[in-house]
Each structure stands twice: as structure tokens, then as C-alpha cells.
Chains A and B, each alone.
Chain A
Amino acid sequence: MATHEEIFKTLKEKFGDRIVEERLDAIDPFIVFHPSIVQDLAFFCRDEEKLRFDLLSLVSTVDYLPQAASADGKTPAVAGRIEVVYILDSTVHKHRLIAKACLDRERPHLKTVENVWRAADWHEREAFDLMGVVFEGHHNLVRILCAEDWEGHPLRKDYVIPDTYHGIKNVIY
């Protein structure tokens, strides 16, 4: 079992400045990586002897709307982003890694990792369905939970709930 510091150090040595941010002070420490290295990082995390992250636990997504600058002229760093959060576990070393990729919410494209962990197949389909993240290279990127002809991605913060669906009225109490 490696500590968060050791895991982050191993990744930093391998990927250098492509690891954009390391947050050891967070309640659950995480790293932010550049979206371009997602596949390399995934293969490295899975195969490197010291890491062996063989279980992809979850692919989560968070949407942050663009924001106007506040009174002090700063906008929050997360504004206008979609974050894709990978939560990895190792059944060998029993440690965990949380790794994030920050995408432009206007064009949230990212390479698939379903060739690394097959669990990613359905998780990525769900992220596409509900958040509209496009995973390039996925063999079957279609909606999984919503109906095939559903419009929009419900978990986007600016999603407008439709009034009707096939003539069924949406009643809001």
C-alpha cells in the first residue's frame, strides 16, 4: 500500500507537467491531469508494478457553469469546465487514486479508456448520456439510461426540463 504522496510522486516522475495539479490537502486527495494523456495515464496506472490500479470504480462528472468575474475581478478556476473524475482502486495494493481531467464545457471530448478497463464501457456511456461528455474511440457510445430519442443531457447545469415527451405532459408539483 502506497500513500497518496508516493502515488502522486510516481505519476509526477512519469508525466512531469502533464500532471497539472496535486491536491494533497483535500479531504480525498486528488490529481488533475492534462486530458491529452488520459490513455497513457490509464495504462501506466494499471500496469506499473508500484501502482497496479486494476479496478476502475467509477467515472464521475461535474459541470461548472461559466461565471462572471466577481467584485475582485477574479473568476473561480473551475468556471466553464466539465470535470471527469476517475476513481481507481487496486485489489493488489489496496490503495486508491482520484484523478481528474478538466474539459472545456463547450467541447467536452476525451479519449476512451474502455480498452484499459472494460468497466469503463458503461460508465462512459452513462457520462455521455447524462452529461454529454464524448469519449473518442468508444465502440458503442449511445445512451444507456435515458431513452434513445431523449434530447439534451440532464445533468448539465443549464439543462431545461422538457414540457412534453411523446405527448406525455410533464407535471411539476
Chain B
Amino acid sequence: MKDIRTEEMLLNMGPQHPSTHGVFRVVVRTDGEMVLESESHIGYLHRCFEKCAENLNYLQVVPYTDRMDYLCAMINNFGYAQTVEKLMGLQVPPRAEHIRIIVAELNRIASHLLALGTYGMDIGAITPFLLAFRDREKILKIFEKLCGQRLNYSYVRVGGVSFDATDEILQEIQDFCEYFEPAAIDEYDSLLSYNGIFISRTANVGVVSKEMAIDYGLTGPNLRGSGVRRDLRKDEPYGIYDRFQFEIPTGDGEQGTVGDCWDRYMVRVREMRESAKIVRQALASIPSGDFVDKKAYKSVKPPKGEVYHKVEGARGELGFHLVSDGSAKPYRLKARGPSFCNISILDSITASGKCMVADMVAIIGSLDIVMGEVDR
């Protein structure tokens, strides 16, 4: 046995590998099972969204924002629409504000469901994935009824939303909330979150300290997983978020160290409960009236100027830097995709010397990236 030795090897993970959640390539230098260092390569999905946007008018840009973070397109539409509205100084009707919050939070739940389902599968648990997709399907069905689309909605537009939410749809959303919180989430907790095997695969793995998370510009559940209480919905409320009561869950090292994979995972599970709370409150207070400012909707032509606006997406802070020269097309539109910053920390986590090849999969999954947004 003493003849067995390990040696260094360069291993190429991806770009087509199920655990990389899209077309993402990592070159890993390994010694046996241990990872010595890694180097991330992105850009396989690059289509220069920003250049496209310069050649389209303001309304035509909306479908392109869907395809950035295609797992929570509602919030992308929402962020873009608010950016243009901020430049135009436009107020949207109160009913539209409520509908926007409802769909954004439902989409956040759908996105987190996919994140935790696939994360379980990365680790080796197949059943939670089936259950998560069962529940996600309910949300997608509601969205399909609302706007005819299951993924790329283009629903939230400058001036309001594209279709009104009928009483029937609102009732379905209410029924979903009753079904989902707390019963369905408790089921995930007992099946996956507190499963012994799952905990031993994720607790104390891929620890990101608070300082490191901020240094790399992490936002969203990844930052909160490291114990930083920062959420734009509370800190810089946009839309009508300041009217609703909800908590900001943060990682506290319950199963291991603060900022480990389990903490990041658990923040998402807890956020789903809070999102359901917000949806319930918004449903209870939704006023009747217009769902879109029809005049603004017909010709979107902001004045000359420059704005930066950001919203809390499912993966972190989604920002748009918009420069207008007064014409019908954006002069410059720069998007800050949260996943772009979130994944940049990977090489630094794996350089800790305590990371095994199997942990790489757990770490990438816990960062919950969407490559459509990284590469834009």
C-alpha cells in the first residue's frame, strides 16, 4: 500500500457539465481528491445584451432582460421598467405596483425552489427535486394564465404590467400561498434541510467570511448567508416594499460555520417563507383601477439624462445603468448581473486548500448562478 501516491493533475470541469448549472468551465488543479486551485472561464453564453440594447427602442429591450436571469424574469423586467420610469419621472398606477410585487415575490419563490431542488440533486438527493418542481409548476401555471408565458414573461413593462390580474388568478395565488406556506416548506425542511447526509455534505464546506463576501461584491442570499443583513427591499425600498412586513433571514452557522454552503442554502428556504408573507399582504391590500399607464406605455421616450437603479433579484442586486440622449433608443444600458459577481468568488473559495473535487459541486450549487446573467 505504501507505493500508492498522488500526483497533480489538471482537470477540466465543464463547459457542458450538469453540476456547473449552465455553460461554465472551471479548470481545476487537483492532487488526488483535493483541489489546489481553480480558474473560472465564462463567456460561453455571451451575446452582448448591452450592444443589442443600443440598437432597440426602450420597449424592445424588455424581452432581452427576460433572457438574462431566465429563472426570475419578472424581477429583471421589474428592474428595467423601474430604471426607465425613474428617468422619465413616471408614477405607475397603484394596482400595477401591487401586481408587480406579487409576481416578483412569486417568481422569487419559483427561482429558489429550482435552486434548492437542483442543489439537492447536485449533492445526490433526487426526491426533493421532484417535489420542488411540483410546486414550481403551480407558480408557472399561474404565470401562464396571467401572461401566456412560463419563463420569459416580458410582463412588467414601462408604465405598469401587460395584462390585468383577474379575480380568478388572484384567488389562485391566494390558494397557492395557503398550500405552500408553511406546509410545503416544512416538507422540504424535513426532507432535505435537516437531512443528516445533506448536512454533512454542506456544513463547514465552502465557507465565505463576511469580509470576503463584501470584498468580492457578493449580494443577495450569498451575502446574507455570510451573516450580512443587507436586502434592498428593506435598505433602499423601491416600488411599495416599504408597506410590507417581512424579515431578512441571515446565515448564523446553525449547522457549522457562518457562511458555509448550508447557510447559503437555508437563507433561500427561509426567504421563501418571507416572500409568501409579502404576497399575502399585497393580495390583501390590492386596489382596483388601472394596471398600466396607457399613455406612457405607447411612447417611451425618456429625456436626456443618466440613472442607476437596482432591485433585489433572486440572486442579488440587479442594477441598470442607463444613459439616454433623448432619442427613442438607450444611448447606453449597462446591466449589473448579480451572478457575475457571485461566481467570481469561486476561485478564492477553492484556494483554501480544504476543498475536495466533490465539494466544488456543492460550492457552485450553493452560489446558485444563472449563466444567462453572468455572460449577458
Contact = CB atoms under 8 A, between A and B. Distances in A.
Interface of A: 26-28, 30, 54-58, 60-63, 85, 87, 91, 94, 96, 98, 117-119, 121-122, 126, 130, 143-147, 154-155, 159
Interface in B181-218: 214-217
A30 to B, nearest CB: 8
B283 interface: no
Given A62-B332, A119-B215, A122-B340, 14 more contacts: A27-B87, A28-B307, A28-B308, A58-B321, A58-B334, A60-B321, A61-B334, A63-B332, A85-B308, A117-B217, A119-B217, A145-B46, A147-B43, A159-B51
Contacts of A94: 230, 235-236
Main secondary structure of the interface of B (DSSP, over half): mixed
Q: Which of B217, B228, B341 has its CB near the most chain A CB atoms (within 10 A)?
A: B217
B337 to A, nearest CB: 10
B305 A27 contact: yes
A111 B292 CA distance: 46
A13 B200 CA distance: 53
Given A119-B215, A122-B341, A130-B48, A57 B307 contact: no
6 contacts: A28-B307, A55-B219, A56-B217, A85-B308, A94-B235, A126-B340
A58 B337 CA distance: 10
Contacts, number: 86
B51 A154 contact: yes
B52 to A, nearest CB: 10
Interface of B: 42-43, 46, 48, 50-51, 86-87, 214-217, 219, 228, 230, 235-236, 305-310, 317, 319, 321, 323, 331-332, 334, 336, 340-341, 344, 348, 375-376
Contacts of B48: 130, 145, 154-155
B46 A146 contact: yes
Contact of B50 (A26, A56, A98, A155): A155
A54 B87 CA distance: 27
A131 B214 CA distance: 26
Contacts of A27: 86-87, 305-307
A98 B336 CA distance: 14
A19 B192 CA distance: 54
A147 B45 CA distance: 11
A144 B374 CA distance: 11
B341 A87 contact: no
